[in-house]
Structure 1
Amino acid sequence: MTWLWRNGVDTLADQGWERSRWEWRIEDGGDPSRLVEEFLAEHGLPVRNLAVGSGSVADGARRRGVLGASLYVSAAAAVVSIGAPPGRPSPAPALPDAVAVVWSQPASAPIEQAVHSARTSFRWELDSWRPSWSPEQHAEAVTRARESISRGELYQVNLVGHASAAYRGDPRPALRRVTTLPGARYAGSLGGDGWALACASPETLVATGGGRVWTGPIKGTRPADEVGRRELLASTKERAEHVMIVDLARNDLSQVARTGTVRVDDLYAVRRWCDLWQAESVVSAALADGVGLAELLRAVCPGGSVTGAPKRAALALINELEPVGRGASMGAFGWVGLDGLDLGLTIRTVAADPDRLHLWAGGGITWGSDPQAEVAEAAAKAAPLRRVLAEAEATTRR
């Protein structure tokens, strides 16, 4: 098992020893948000009241040598936490639905040993990708989503497609290449017995620090050239879709915020991920006293930018239209530290089971969506992931 984290000061996470691990699957039952909060609190992490400074709780963790914890929560686990049906089964059932790994600073052995497998040579082969729906089926799902919107059942829904490819060999070095994609704020990999995932997400699902909480929804995509930038800035459809999700994010944060403190710090900023422009906003608030990790996860997960508005109506339509479960995608992935947490949304994410690689991509659907354009947008989002995995295969054949 390997964890690599390259966001800010938390680079220590790839230099520690795994102290303890918690894994959860839907069939285990219970509320994963509550269970993971209890697990992390047992190891001294300050997750019971995120609104206050780390104080004596974190000091105790430091004395025990705890660095922090990596955390992954699948979209299905997030849905279960809010009491909604989990949807269709995952096409990668080897992956747990939630994982937390607590890391400790090694007492004496060189920390380099903690990433023993990161630099080994490897050889592997990747077969052709097989989608779970055809472009025609994807376009038909967009049409049906637009019909639901026209009936007033919801305002927006995010539809996600899946593809998988058989592989042979060790996938971990190839997955690490995924984490190097430009624009990936949440660049990391996590693995266990018979599974691994790699994330190159640019989107902040939720972060806390200094008594505040913030989220950075992304909605709106164009090719990363000057024409694409101008189109994205000028698009009435994209801006309207984006503002809907910003409003949903404001509502989500209001559940855990001090009254009257929710604000939009940045609206519709255009930023780059790989060869795409994307529109991003930042919504923040002062945390209400007593808000713990479980309550925070229930408020923001699953993320509004990958569900829709209203959220529960969107989830019901997603379960109806998407052919397979979302697996490792559209969930939460990041770091729970001694001074706060920083979780990305698992867009731009690849998962490996013992036989196949899996990836997901999609986009938000409104009444103004064009089915063929939505199919093309999903393909554009998946393309950098497919490309870097293909390049890894080519490297091994030299």
Structure 2
Amino acid sequence: MSENEPHGVEALPLGMIDVPGAPAGCRARLVERARLQWWTADGGDPAALAQEFLAAHGIVLHDLARPARPDPDGVCGAALYLSAAAGARAAGGPPGPPSPVPALPDLVVVVYAHTDRRPAARPAAGGWRLGQWRDSWTPRQHADAVSAVRAAIGRGDVYQVNLVGHAAAAYTGDPRPALARLAALPGARYGGTLTGADWAIGCASPETLIALEGGRLVTRPIKGTRPATPAGRRDLLASAKERAEHVMIVDLERNDLARVARTGSVRVDELFAVRRWCDLWQAESTVSAAPADGLGLAALLRAVCPGGSVTGAPKLAALERIAALEPVGRGASMGALGWVGAGRIDLGLTIRTVAADAQRLHLWAGGGITWGSDPAAEVAEAAAKAAPVRALLAAG
């Protein structure tokens, strides 16, 4: 675990902060004040560490039912990133196989304050070149994993499991401009980047993992995908398989929120609404609840991480299947990335997310597996989700 204090980061060049969820009016005048980086090997509870670090730097999130007002003379807020492995640990499940990006921490908290300094221009992408993508499993291995999940469902071990594949590509040049371009993808509600000394994350996620909006906790699970054509939309709306899979995850999210909500306050505000992300239709629902008295950020993260739409049901049993079947860790994907501040939480689920280390870019994609899943179709769906991200990253 490492912590940087203001004197360590103040000397760094100031660039435009484009963390997903950061206040739009503040992004050009933010400066990093403190940073926490933690890996699962460090031990401890990442959710508690995040809450304690934020409180130590003026962002108190101990009672979300009675949020504190922002201090105009204090810090603006903080970027918060939590990996899927850290979320699994906080939830009491297995973290899965080792990450293919060991330089990337499993928890990052970066506290920002306002400054009058002018930000530096974003670096140009001169010399950028992306090599060939190499998958961590073959289509046949992916399909076999889908069949293994179907067998587990047949035995009654699980009801649904989300399987995720990984690919990596070598690069030359500065990856940060390429990662920043992901925010321009249509439907990237959580588009943006977060960087460290020897790693970077770029996100184009459309999915809300958890937010605090108008005094209510809100999650927007996405489950169900079709090509963004009129026929694809009709097929998604008519698919009994997709609707059953979606409703199962909505029920899981209701149960997750109920653990930390005021009794009787959980509700489904919208069910199976079809939205567009790039050239795909996806089904999204909105589930909300009033936070229970005394609910802090740490307990909230333990309840909702990792997200139900990227694990399965029951969640802990699904995590066991994931750990057994996926060939590499989920790294930056299927975790949480966004912004927290006094009275504000806005965390996206890190789907459509890419990580860079010193030599390679890493990308993950997958989908939910039910008894009605067709292995070949699941392999094709994962490829369709990755395709727009791969194309944009390859642009010069």
Give the TM interval when normalised to the shorter protein: over 0.9
Q: Is the counterpart of residue 50 in structure 1 residue 54 in structure 2? A: no
Identical positions, percent: 64
Q: Match for 1:83 among 77, 86, 92? A: 92
**Structure 1 unaligned residues grouped into runs of 5+:** none
Distance in 2, matches of 1:186 and 1:316, equals: 28
User: CA 1:74–1:14 in 2, change beyond 3 Å: closer, same or farther?
Assistant: farther
Distance in 2, matches of 1:351 and 1:14, equals: 24
Q: In structure 2, what is the equivalent of residue 340 of structure 1?
A: 344
Q: TM-score, normalised by structure 1?
A: 0.94
Q: In structure 2, what is the equivalent of residue 148 of structure 1?
A: 152
For residues 326-382 of structure 1, the C-alpha deviation after alignment (integer angstroms, 9 at most, x for no partner) is 000000000002231000000000000000000000000000000000000000000
Name the amino acid aligned to 1:12.
C
Distance in 1, matches of 2:22 and 2:236, equals: 29
Name the amino acid aligned to 1:83.
G
Q: Is the counterpart of residue 275 in structure 1 residue 258 in structure 2? A: no
Q: In structure 2, what is the equivalent of residue 196 of structure 1?
A: 200
SS in 2 for 1:289: coil
User: CA 1:160–1:285 in 2, change beyond 3 Å: closer, same or farther?
Assistant: same
Name the amino acid aligned to 1:346.
T
Distance in 2, matches of 1:291 and 1:17, equals: 29
Q: Is the counterpart of residue 63 in structure 1 residue 86 in structure 2? A: no
Q: In structure 2, what is the equivalent of residue 352 of structure 1?
A: 356
SS in 1 for 2:86: helix
User: CA 1:261–1:189 in 2, change beyond 3 Å: closer, same or farther?
Assistant: same
Distance in 2, matches of 1:8 and 1:33, equals: 20
Q: Is the counterpart of residue 16 in structure 1 residue 30 in structure 2? A: yes
SS in 1 for 2:387: helix
- Contact 1:51/1:210 (8 A) holds in 2: no
Distance in 1, matches of 2:210 and 2:92, equals: 20
- Structure 1 stretch 207-216 or stretch 72-81: which is displaced more? 207-216
Distance in 2, matches of 1:99 and 1:88, equals: 20
5 Å matches for 1:238-253?
238-253=242-257
User: CA 1:220–1:24 in 2, change beyond 3 Å: closer, same or farther?
Assistant: same
Q: Match for 2:289 among 282, 285, 289? A: 285
Q: Match for 1:98 among 98, 107, 112? A: 107
SS in 1 for 2:372: coil
Distance in 1, matches of 2:43 and 2:231, equals: 50
How far 1:308 moved relative to its partner?
Answer: 0.2
How far 1:8 moved relative to its partner?
Answer: 7.8
Name the amino acid aligned to 1:63.
D
Name the amino acid aligned to 1:235.
S
Question: What is the RMSD computed on CA atoms of the aligned residues?
Answer: 1.3
Q: In structure 1, what is the equivalent of residue 263 of structure 2?
A: 259
Q: In structure 2, what is the equivalent of residue 109 of structure 1?
A: 117
Distance in 2, matches of 1:277 and 1:261, equals: 30
How far 1:119 moved relative to its partner?
Answer: 4.2
Distance in 2, matches of 1:145 and 1:103, equals: 43
- Contact 2:29/2:117 (8 A) holds in 1: no
Q: Match for 2:232 among 228, 233, 247? A: 228
How far 1:7 moved relative to its partner?
Answer: 4.5
- Contact 1:5/1:14 (8 A) holds in 2: no
Q: How many residues align?
A: 382
Q: TM-score, normalised by structure 2?
A: 0.94
How far 1:11 moved relative to its partner?
Answer: 4.8
Distance in 2, matches of 1:10 and 1:68, equals: 12
Q: In structure 2, what is the equivalent of residue 159 of structure 1?
A: 163
For residues 1-20 of structure 1, the C-alpha deviation after alignment (integer angstroms, 9 at most, x for no partner) is 86414658445235300011
Name the amino acid aligned to 1:33.
A
SS in 2 for 1:33: helix
Name the amino acid aligned to 1:28.
D
User: CA 1:239–1:11 in 2, change beyond 3 Å: closer, same or farther?
Assistant: farther
How far 1:86 moved relative to its partner?
Answer: 1.2
Distance in 2, matches of 1:358 and 1:6, equals: 19
How far 1:210 moved relative to its partner?
Answer: 3.3
Name the amino acid aligned to 1:23.
Q
**Structure 2 unaligned residues grouped into runs of 5+:** 1-11
- Contact 2:20/2:193 (8 A) holds in 1: no
Q: In structure 2, what is the equivalent of residue 28 of structure 1?
A: 42
For residues 239-294 of structure 1, the C-alpha deviation after alignment (integer angstroms, 9 at most, x for no partner) is 00000000000000001100001000000000000000000000000110110100
5 Å matches for 1:358-397?
358-391=362-395, 395=396
How far 1:120 moved relative to its partner?
Answer: 3.2
How far 1:169 moved relative to its partner?
Answer: 1.2
SS in 2 for 1:4: coil
Q: In structure 1, what is the equivalent of residue 298 of structure 2?
A: 294
SS in 1 for 2:76: strand
Distance in 1, matches of 2:389 and 2:26, equals: 26
SS in 1 for 2:95: coil
